[in-house]
């Protein structure tokens, strides 16, 4: 019961942190010329990071960091031709609370 609550409450943060950790492990084993292990850890890390970010966006409706929100706003404005359908990870992201200076 407690493990389920921890997974529900902190799941996105745990997934993103473990993803970052796997990427660092991949970087470190890559330094030691273990490129197969490096690729494995980096792929697992990127998948965990993206999964945690998508989970956070579904739960809260916006990316977890202001930098991510600014990136989403920039991507929405600059990379989409007029009338194009945005990619799935940008759908539902509100850029209205992005402050411009």
Domain boundaries, the chain: 2-60, 65-101
Going by the DSSP 8-state scheme, the letter that residue 97 receives in this structure is: T
How confident is the model at residue 49, as a pLDDT? 86
HSE, side-chain direction, 13 A CA sphere, residue 60: 16
Helix or strand or coil: residue 31? helix
Kindly report the pTM of this predicted structure: 0.61
HSE, side-chain direction, 13 A CA sphere, residue 84: 12
Q: For residue range 42-93, list pLDDT tens digits in order.
A: 999 988 988 888 888 888 777 777 655 555 555 555 555 566 665 555 555 5
Token pair for 27? 């970087």
Q: For residue range 5-19, list pLDDT tens digits in order.
A: 888 888 888 998 999
- Helix axis angle, 35-60 relative to 2-31, nearest 10°? 140
Tell me the pLDDT band of 32, cut-offs 50, 70 and 90.
very high
């Amino acid at each position: 019961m407690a493990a389920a609550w921890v997974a529900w409450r902190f799941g996105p943060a745990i997934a993103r942190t473990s993803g970052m950790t796997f990427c660092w492990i991949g970087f470190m084993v890559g330094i030691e010329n273990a490129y197969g292990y490096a690729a494995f850890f980096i792929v697992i890390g990127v998948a965990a990071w993206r999964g945690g970010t998508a989970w956070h966006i579904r739960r809260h409706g916006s990316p977890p960091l202001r930098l991510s929100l600014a990136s989403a706003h920039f991507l929405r404005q600059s990379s989409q031709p007029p009338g194009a359908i945005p990619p799935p990870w940008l759908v539902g992201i509100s850029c209205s609370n992005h402050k411009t200076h």
